[in-house]
């Protein structure tokens, strides 16, 4: 798959098959972070990998799913939960633009997983204090995001953003995600 095909097909997934993410994919996620571009090559983003089923189950109640949808539609059911979480942290002792570096790292990690068919959901609506305790995160590390990973149990695709759709994603009649995107003409102009 080309990079553009990966970008066009990598969407957020919120329902997963109950199949473990293999270690080679986990290693690719870590390597994708390691190879990420970052300001002044400071490399301030860190990870905690949560892949044992009992630990994944402890993380699950501390994250929120699909803010645009009612919980009965957007929250995965017991047989749709991710099989891997990755905590993305920032080392606050390293100066620089941690937000930008973290964004680049998240893109790399989720694309690396998607290249092997593993979907993801980057989660900012999380219980940071409880997760920080659960994951044993200590200063100067600061939890920024959780990323859920697994093999998708639904489809997700891009649809045109219209006045009727607005920016909010929605489910179609098959419970697949429709993600409205602005047109090229709306987002770019030539000088």
User: What is the distance between the alpha carbons of residues 187 and 142, in angstroms, rounded to a whole number?
Assistant: 33
Per-domain boundaries in the chain: 3-154, 155-191
Instruction: Give burial (CB, 10 Å; 0-12/13-18/19+) of 11.
Output: buried
Predicted TM-score (pTM) of this structure: 0.95
pLDDT reported for residue 156 = 94
Question: Looking at the chain, which runs of residues are DSSP E strands?
Answer: 45-50, 84-91, 119-123, 141-150, 156-160, 170-171, 177-181
What the block records as the tokens of 111 is 């694309």
| CATH superfamily of the domain spanning 155-191 | putative fmn-dependent nitroreductase like domains (2.20.180.10)
Q: What is the pLDDT of residue 57?
A: 96
The superfamily in CATH containing domain 3-154 is NADH Oxidase (3.40.109.10)
* Predicted confidence pLDDT, tens digits, the chain (191 residues): 789 999 999 999 999 999 999 999 999 999 999 999 999 999 999 999 999 999 999 999 999 998 888 888 889 999 999 999 999 999 999 999 999 999 999 999 999 999 999 999 999 999 999 999 999 999 999 999 999 999 999 999 999 999 999 999 999 999 999 999 999 999 999 99
What is the pLDDT, as a whole number, of residue 73?
85
């Amino acid at each position: 798959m080309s990079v553009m095909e990966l970008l066009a097909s990598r969407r957020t997934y919120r329902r997963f098959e109950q199949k473990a993410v293999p270690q080679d994919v986990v290693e690719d996620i870590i390597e994708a972070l390691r190879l990420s571009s970052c300001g002044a090559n400071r490399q301030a983003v860190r990870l905690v990998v949560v892949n044992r089923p009992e630990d994944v189950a402890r993380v699950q109640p501390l994250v929120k799913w699909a803010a645009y949808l009612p919980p009965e539609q957007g929250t995965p059911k017991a047989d749709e939960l991710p099989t891997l979480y990755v905590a993305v942290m920032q080392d606050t002792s390293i100066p620089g633009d941690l937000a930008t570096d973290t964004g680049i790292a998240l893109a790399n990690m989720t694309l690396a997983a998607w290249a092997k068919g593993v979907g993801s959901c980057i989660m900012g609506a999380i219980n940071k204090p409880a997760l920080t305790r659960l994951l044993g995160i200590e200063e100067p590390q600061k939890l920024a995001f959780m990323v859920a990973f697994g093999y998708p149990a639904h489809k997700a695709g891009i649809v045109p953003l219209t006045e009727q759709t607005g920016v909010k994603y929605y489910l179609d009649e098959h419970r697949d995600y429709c993600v409205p995107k602005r047109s090229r003409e709306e987002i770019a102009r030539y000088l």
